Structure 1
Amino acid sequence: MSVNGSGSGFDYWRLKLRAIVLLVFGRNAAAEATFDQMIQAWPQDPYALASRAHLRAQRGARDEAIADYQLLVSAHPDRSAAFWFNLAFTLESASRLPEAEAAFRRALELDEKLDRAWYGLGLTLIQQGRYDDAVAALKRNTELQPMSPYGWYQLARVHMDRQQPDEARKIIRHLKGFEPKVAAQLERETGLAA
């Protein structure tokens, strides 16, 4: 709970419990209204801000979600790489790529092993046409998550964009060992055979 709040500790926990129960029963709008109450009383509370931002993003209110995530990271800049990742992910989905890149990089400053942030950074860099930087980010993602096909798939696509079919073939061969469906999809999309 934020120490800057204007309500009592009992009120905070009552509202938090109410929000959790509402979420369990799928009453997201009522839960969001409860988070509104919490934020009115405790404007910098990380739980309420993160939860409301998540609900707003789920219902497609992306700009409102971004505003909440920005408040969250402004109030708690060093608290959690996940806060920065969620901001970055939402910014990327809104095609606000330079801002998303900066937020992914901040998440990685806080937790260099956050594989999702390396992947998101890679996607953001691809969309900006910065393929060399994207390769570095995606390679780091695949080092951290070697059995996940997503980073490998994007890495192969970047190698094709960079006119490096031999590198893409190596990835397809690698994927055949644990994700044959993804390897087959890459073969179809690129016209390459491992």
Structure 2
Amino acid sequence: MTMRGLIILAGFLALSACVETQADDLLDPLPQELEIAAPAGTVVLQDGVDQLLVGDRLMDAGQHDLALRAYYRAAAEQGLDAGVLTAIGSANLALGRIGQAEDQFRRAIELDDRYVPAWNNLGVALMEQGEYGEARRVFESAFSLDSGSSDAIRDNLRRAIARMDETVYTGANNQDGLGLLRRGGGVFELRPDP
């Protein structure tokens, strides 16, 4: 082999070594100092976002459907406890799904019978359904568990008592069209309203 052939062979060997090194560098992960940053505006999740907090903020913003989704994600991440069930029930209550909300509040109370928000929200669901007597008992339970420190529960209890009084004394439950007619001597007769 001539000198020129040896030089060409050495050049090819050097070139192939460089190509292999570059190919290996492409397959290896980038060194820390050369990592490429994410595009601007990309959200980087490090520890995860508390979906209960996200749901609470969405509820405050009036986005009840989105809040319900966030609460379901919280249930998937941390399981169904009294707090998550109460949050899901609150979103359903805000969406007008009162029966579903009531069931979820009752399940939350079964899991933790000392969880005050579940008791209070169950009372609200019962009030929405016109169940003032049971709502009063539920608010009384919430009030006693809370040691009377919540103004909201106290106000809800007052409303339930007032609604019961209205229903009993004003005849608000009188839906069959019957009225009372006083006849003398303390005798009353039922008569149909015109």
TM-score range (shorter-chain normalised) is 0.5 to 0.7
What does 1:1-194 align with in structure 2 at a 5 Å threshold? 34=43, 47-73=49-75, 76-78=78-80, 80-145=81-146, 146-163=148-165
Amino acid at match of 1:138: F
Q: CA deviation at 1:66?
A: 0.9
Query: What is the alpha-carbon distance in structure 1 between the residues aligned to residue 79 and residue 96 of structure 2?
Result: 23
Q: Which has the larger radius of gyration?
A: 2
Separation (CA, whole Å) in 2 of partners of 1:152 and 1:49: 29
Name the residue aligned to 1:17: none
Q: How many residues align?
A: 127
| Residue aligned with 1:60, SS | coil
**Per the alignment, do residues 155 and 48 of structure 1 end up closer, same or farther by CA in structure 2, a change over 3 Å counting?**
closer
Q: Percent identity?
A: 23
What amino acid sits opposite 1:86 in the alignment? A
The residue matched to 2:114 in structure 1 has which SS? coil
Distance across 1 between alignment mates of 2:123 and 2:131: 9
Given residue 156 of structure 2, which amino acid in structure 1 is its aligned partner? Q
> When the two structures are superposed, what TM-score results if normalisation uses the length of structure 1?
0.54
Residue 137 of structure 1: how far off its partner (Å): 0.8
Which ranges of structure 2 fall in alignment gaps of 5 or more residues?
Answer: 1-40, 168-194
* C-alpha distance in structure 1 between counterparts of 2:164 and 2:51, whole Å: 41
Task: Tell me by how many angstroms 1:157 deviates.
Answer: 2.1
How big is the alpha-carbon RMSD for the aligned residues of Structure 1 and Structure 2? 3.1
Instruction: Compute the TM-score of the two structures, normalised by the length of structure 2.
Output: 0.54
Amino acid at match of 1:113: R
Taking the aligned partners of 1:48 and 1:115, their CA distance within structure 2 comes to 21
Secondary structure in 1 aligned to 2:69?
helix
Is the alpha carbon distance of 1:102 and 1:95 closer, same or farther for their aligned partners in structure 2, counting shifts above 3 Å?
Answer: same
Partner SS, residue 165 of structure 2: coil
Instruction: Name the structure where strand makes up a greater proportion of residues.
Output: 2
Q: What is the CA distance between 1:130 and its match in structure 2?
A: 0.9
Q: Unaligned regions of 5+ residues in structure 1, if any?
A: 1-29, 39-44, 166-194
Aligned counterpart, 2:29? none
The alpha carbon displacement at 1:53 in A equals: 2.6
How far apart in 1 are the matches of 2:88 and 2:134?
A: 21
Bigger mean CA offset, 149-158 vs 108-117: 149-158
Structure 2 residue identity aligned to 1:103? Q
User: Which residue number in structure 1 is paired with residue 180 of structure 2?
Assistant: none
Return the alpha-carbon distance in structure 2 between the equivalents of residues 157 and 101 of structure 1: 19
Change in CA separation of 1:52 and 1:151 when aligned onto 2, cut-off 3 Å: closer
Q: What CA distance in whole angstroms lies between the structure 2 residues aligned with 1:58 and 1:130?
A: 27
Deviation at residue 86 of structure 1 after TM alignment = 1.4
C-alpha displacement of 1:105: 1.4
1:73 deviates by 2.9
State the distance in 1 between where 2:124 and 2:106 align. Answer: 13
Q: Is the 8 A contact 2:50 2:74 kept in 1?
A: no
Take 2:114 and 2:166, find their aligned partners in 1: how far apart are those partners?
28
Q: Return closer, same or farther for 1:48/1:160 CA change in 2, 3 Å cut-off.
A: closer
Partners of 2:162 and 2:53 in 1: how far apart?
39
